[in-house]
Amino acid sequence: MKTFSALLLSLLLLSCGEKTKPEEKSTADSSYLDYSDRDDKLSGGVKLIPIETASGTFKVWTKRVGNNPDMKVLLLHGGPGATHEYFEVFDSYFPNAGIEYYYYDQLESAYSDQPNDSILWSVDRYVDEVEQVRQALGLDSTNFYILGSSWGGILGMEYALKHQDKMKGLIISNMMASIPDYIKYAEEVLGPQLDPDVLKEIRQLESEGKFTDPRYLELVGTHYYPKHVLRMPPDQWPDPVNRAFANINYDLYLTMQGPSEFGVVGDAKLKNWDIKDQLKKITVPTLAIGGAHDTMDPEHMEWIAGEVQNGRYLHCPEGSHLAMYDDPETYFEGVIRFIKDVDKGEF
- What are the catalytic residues? 150, 294, 321
| Distance separating alpha carbons of residues 233 and 219, to the nearest angstrom | 14
Going by the DSSP 8-state scheme, the letter that residue 259 receives in this structure is: S
Neighbours of 68 (CB within 10 A): 18
Taking a C-beta distance cutoff of 8 angstroms, is the pair 84, 103 a contact? yes
Does residue 80 have a cis bond before it (omega within 30 degrees)?
yes
What's at 224, amino acid-wise?
A: Y
| Distance separating alpha carbons of residues 74 and 47, to the nearest angstrom | 13
CB crowding 84-121: b at 16 or more within 10 Å, else e: bbbbebbeebbbebbbbbbbbbbbbbbbbbbeeeeebb
Element (H, E) at 2: helix 2-30
Neighbours of 159 (CB within 10 A): 26
| Distance separating alpha carbons of residues 71 and 53, to the nearest angstrom | 29
| Distance separating alpha carbons of residues 278 and 198, to the nearest angstrom | 37
At a CB cut-off of 8 Å and minimum separation 6, what does 271 contact?
A: 179, 180, 183, 258, 264
Taking a C-beta distance cutoff of 8 angstroms, is the pair 104, 60 a contact? yes
**Phi (first) and psi of residue 299, to 5 degrees:** -65, -35
Query: Smallest Cα–Cα separation from 80: which of 114, 131, 51, 49?
Result: 114
